[in-house]
Structure 1
Amino acid sequence: MKINVEIDEELEKLEVLIRAKEWNEEVNQLMDRLKEKRRSYFSGTEDETRHVFKPEDILYLYTENKTVMVRTEEGRYRMKERLYELEDELPEEQFVRLSKSAIANLDALEKFEASFNGTLCVYFRNGEKEYVSRRYVSEIKQKIEGKG
């Protein structure tokens, strides 16, 4: 794929042109990526205080007693959104589903350990750990190996 960027001071709005020989899966993927709306900031509460953080500050998100929690280096915060809603708003190349109840930032991972029952145990930079459901093991491996 060839990428060109052209700066034109006459333009009022950003314009994107995709040139291809034919409409194919790669064009579809580019279109989907361009249409994605990602949030620059998220917020969560701790006691009565609302904290604001960027996606890259998130170590992982998980559910606890039917509440979505986010873990950052600074602390744990309660989120108002559901886990699947947050998953849709996080950069998919940076975040991966670990289980039905957890999503991890790949940049926050330190190591993996195989478990006796076919799952993985994921260790984060801060020393905490989460387990990966068998269902999500292959997706994580693909993303780690740069194929996903």
Structure 2
Amino acid sequence: MKVQMNIDPGTTEDEIIITIKEMNTKVERILSIIHEEEECLFIPLQKDGRTYLVEPKEVSHVIFIENKCIAYRGKEQYRFKDSLKQFEERYSPYNFIRISKYCLANTVWMEYFEATFGGSLKLVFKNGEKEIVSRKYAKELKKILLKE
């Protein structure tokens, strides 16, 4: 990937031009950083009748259980009012990846993972929470994290 930067003190507004052959995860990350700077993005999470505005980096993972979408912020559990699919569509540029049919994980919060019987992985987060990475998503997780 080539990078060119022109500094022009006479310009009135910053402009970013990206020329790519096709969209890829690197470009998506770059775009998410650019957009993150443009807007103050928060995830609306509910608990005890209140709505909290939480930054994506504060959420370790989100699970879908008993027809509810639950987000983990440290050891605390909060309710996300929309579906897991909608969470994924909105917040995947903020380090969230799917690790199973029912779970999205924030790569920033991952402590370690280890192989389990049958090809799945046990993922442990920095907050002590644990989730299983299904075989279907284990290969992609390794590819992203280990650059395989």
Q: CA deviation at 1:6?
A: 3.3
Distance 2:56 2:7 in 1: 29
Equivalent residue number for residue 67 of structure 1: 68
Q: 1:118 to 1:5 in 2, by over 3 A?
A: same
| Residue correspondence of structure 1 range 29-108 to structure 2 within 5 A | 29=24, 30=27, 34=31, 40-73=41-74, 75-92=76-93, 94-108=95-109
The answer on 1:138 being equivalent to 2:139 is yes
Distance 2:126 2:41 in 1: 23
- Between the aligned residues of both structures, percent identity stands at 26
Structure 1 spans left out of the alignment, 5+ residues = none
Distance 1:42 1:92 in 2: 13
Distance 2:52 2:80 in 1: 10
Aligned residues: 141
Instruction: Please list every run of at least 4 consecutive aligned residues from structure 1 whose deviation after the TM superposition is greater than 3 angstroms.
Output: 5-10, 28-39
TM-score, L = length of structure 1: 0.80
Greater share of helix residues, 1 or 2? 2
Structure 2 spans left out of the alignment, 5+ residues = none
RMSD: 2.7
